[in-house]
Structure 1
């Protein structure tokens, strides 16, 4: 079988025949017919060897083209399948993270109930009043809940005997006035301010920040082999959402446990005449408490999730620079983008979180005081349990942002030292000019973005010192018998 017939696409049969004929023709012209006949044995072998060598070279070149073409096709198929997988993971993340998050914002009044209809710029006229009055309704429910808590003397660390006659109601109300400033006016004003400020942050200014950050991190994680895969990233984001719903359930359970522990509450000056009115007021009071607890958990989960996304973004950036899957110029652009995103989290969301954390800290302190000094306040076993559960829930919720901020600052410090690492050991950057390495070192050394809460940089050393001071303070107070748990 002739070799040219095996690879007809290369056209090797015609080339070999034509080259042999042209060579023989040139030999005939040079030596004549008789000369060619006299040199036919040697010259013909030489020409045949030359043509065989050329044919083998062209055959090898054709096989290399086929191999490269097949490799390019396989790479294109792999990249296409990888893009499809990344798109599926991103869509799954939107369904499991963004949609529940947007539903929570809608319940709190931070997002319109009815959005614009497709192919229309604005919602219909019937929808606009609902989107406008619903946040006002939520705001009124919160204020009504504050009024009902004061009327019923409902606070987690005081236990005033609840009686239904007029003289007892007046006595209870006078006892409530002793705690008016510390447990009613200051916490309620702070909680109302936190809700209004969060409304401004999440509805007026920061509408799609979390979704934008998720898409950017997915894009960066899908374009390289470093760091977490998009599917692992989606699972992590889903875990944060599940944790947020778990916290909401725990906070609601604590509020219900407090109401049950206080048995029959009297709403003093509101003059409740029937059980239906009484249970209606209790439900409205609990509804306001649930809304505020949902505000705390939603804002904190949003901050924690954005910090985690920034951590993944910075860790993936460091890995790509070390593996040299991107050049230094592109790394500088990615660092500037991460710095911009961190500033948004720092100066807008972190200030709102700081105010919410102050309120949560106040609630945790009230629960801790109620649990430690409950004997003096005539607490029952159920009240002890409610105070202990409340203290644990509020401490866990308020402590998570500090931990995430410290982890984000650790990732920022890794970026700061990345320039020194690349400059001192430029493995993989041997062909890079020294000026480019020095410029990258200078740029990373001047980065100033840090995670802050209460306008203070949070790091692991700060958390350790704070925990040590709080522990010794509590021990000191117990030794001085400021708190009595078992006596």
Structure 2
């Protein structure tokens, strides 16, 4: 085992210049475990952390702050009263727009699964009940709105109070473990992959905004019990709907981001132990840490994503069934685009969880690979290799959604059920 370097030599001016919000995550440089894992010059570690902070952590926290999930200030130091007040005012504005969007969608019968319906006279009770019966109002507006708001408040509690340092710690840990000696090539590759996920979430949000904007333009809704300027009310409806979609895409992309980070961490740990750049004992410690991070993903963030996936899947399926049975009730091309958008948002967490599951399964096979080809462990004792084999083969590393472990097999079953639903809907029509 390599000698453990003195932790004080990692206290570079760069690490001292980090803001207090990242103090806990930067303190990982002072641990002997990370010192053994990196086994590289301090410049490489500092460069990886600086790259992580400037290119990933700070921009992503600004994105979270835009939807109220983080304070406007990026530090944990006591900000001035003006910044604190603006942060609370911003959060209150986001909550007001969310609730306002729920209410205006209900009062205009503006469904998220079909796009524009026929124009409804807000004063004609009979026409209103014909277009929007009570059962549809409850299932399309009341229940999804309550679930969406509760999910937002739950994630707000997680990101602002409960696990405020969880995400930056995970990001910086991945950057440190995956950083090779002599450069930051790998961290730049990690950064590109993370930004690709965020870019896909941004594209989804833009397409959603374009879709419901077309719906409002092509068939401007009327509002029941509201007699104000309809143009102003429609603008409020569009703003509230955009905030809802921004929150939903941010939460789903946040889960995908953390699942991707854990995937990168699992892949890096496998490569390090196979190349013997990490001792067996330290590898076991790091895998235990990976298990804790995965447990946090399954127990804390996955329930919120499951609720959003349930809402998105219900909208996609109801839209599909409606355009198959009653294509004249809506504009088909907008409804098809909405189905694609909601189906994408519903299936994205399962895709990322499946990738993570595959890399977790690969960690379980590490002991067999080393025992089959022990070229890098010729000097290791049989007891150590047997201990590694036993430890790796008994790992229980599985991402779970809806309380069920996700794997490639479950993903195939899910896609088969979706295809079966679409086929049955067409046959019924």
TM-score, structure 2 normalization: 0.83
After superposition, the Cα gap between the structure-2 partners of 1:464 and 1:225, relative to the gap in structure 1 and judged at 3 Å, is farther
Aligned twin of 1:356: 308
Aligned twin of 1:150: 106
Paired residues in the alignment total: 388
1:221 aligns to 2:203 (yes or no) = no
Equivalent position SS for 1:266: coil
1:110 aligns to 2:69 (yes or no) = yes
Equivalent position SS for 1:127: helix
Output the CA distance in 2 between the equivalents of 1:228 and 1:444. 29
After superposition, the Cα gap between the structure-2 partners of 1:253 and 1:227, relative to the gap in structure 1 and judged at 3 Å, is same
Counterpart contact for 2:51–2:187, Cα < 8 Å: no
Q: Larger C-alpha radius of gyration, 1 or 2? A: 1
Output the CA distance in 1 between the equivalents of 2:122 and 2:242. 30
Q: Which runs of 5+ in 1 are unaligned?
A: 1-78, 482-487
Equivalent position SS for 1:154: coil
Q: RMSD of the TM alignment (CA)?
A: 2.6
Aligned twin of 2:23: none
TM-score, structure 1 normalization: 0.74
1:447 aligns to 2:386 (yes or no) = no
Q: Which runs of 5+ in 2 are unaligned?
A: 1-39
Aligned twin of 1:250: 207
After superposition, the Cα gap between the structure-2 partners of 1:400 and 1:335, relative to the gap in structure 1 and judged at 3 Å, is same
Q: Which of 284, 289, 304 pairs up with 1:337?
A: 289
Output the CA distance in 1 between the equivalents of 2:423 and 2:125. 39
Q: Which of 340, 343, 347 pairs up with 1:399?
A: 347
Output the CA distance in 2 between the equivalents of 1:465 and 1:163. 41
Q: Which moved more, 1:184-193 or 1:89-98?
A: 89-98
Aligned twin of 1:269: 225
Output the CA distance in 2 between the equivalents of 1:115 and 1:424. 49
Query: CA offset at residue 458 of structure 1?
Result: 0.8
Aligned twin of 2:231: 279
1:427 aligns to 2:387 (yes or no) = no
Counterpart contact for 1:406–1:460, Cα < 8 Å: yes
Output the CA distance in 1 between the equivalents of 2:410 and 2:357. 12
Counterpart contact for 2:52–2:175, Cα < 8 Å: no
> What does residue range 24-39 of structure 1 map to in structure 2 within 5 Å?
none
> What does residue range 409-420 of structure 1 map to in structure 2 within 5 Å?
409-420=357-368
Output the CA distance in 1 between the equivalents of 2:305 and 2:58. 22
Aligned twin of 2:53: 94
Aligned twin of 1:294: 246
Counterpart contact for 1:153–1:173, Cα < 8 Å: no
Output the CA distance in 1 between the equivalents of 2:184 and 2:68. 37
Equivalent position SS for 1:326: coil
After superposition, the Cα gap between the structure-2 partners of 1:170 and 1:106, relative to the gap in structure 1 and judged at 3 Å, is farther
Query: CA offset at residue 115 of structure 1?
Result: 5.3
Output the CA distance in 1 between the equivalents of 2:185 and 2:362. 17
After superposition, the Cα gap between the structure-2 partners of 1:224 and 1:403, relative to the gap in structure 1 and judged at 3 Å, is farther
Output the CA distance in 1 between the equivalents of 2:182 and 2:291. 23
After superposition, the Cα gap between the structure-2 partners of 1:112 and 1:402, relative to the gap in structure 1 and judged at 3 Å, is same
Aligned twin of 2:165: 208
Query: CA offset at residue 198 of structure 1?
Result: 1.6
Query: CA offset at residue 83 of structure 1?
Result: 3.2
Output the CA distance in 1 between the equivalents of 2:205 and 2:122. 36
User: Over residues 115-139 of structure 1, what are the superposed CA-to-partner deviations in whole Å (9 max), with x where a residue is unaligned?
Assistant: 569xxx4222333333334323322
Query: CA offset at residue 171 of structure 1?
Result: 2.7
Higher relative contact order (CA 8 A, sep 6+): 2
After superposition, the Cα gap between the structure-2 partners of 1:250 and 1:206, relative to the gap in structure 1 and judged at 3 Å, is farther
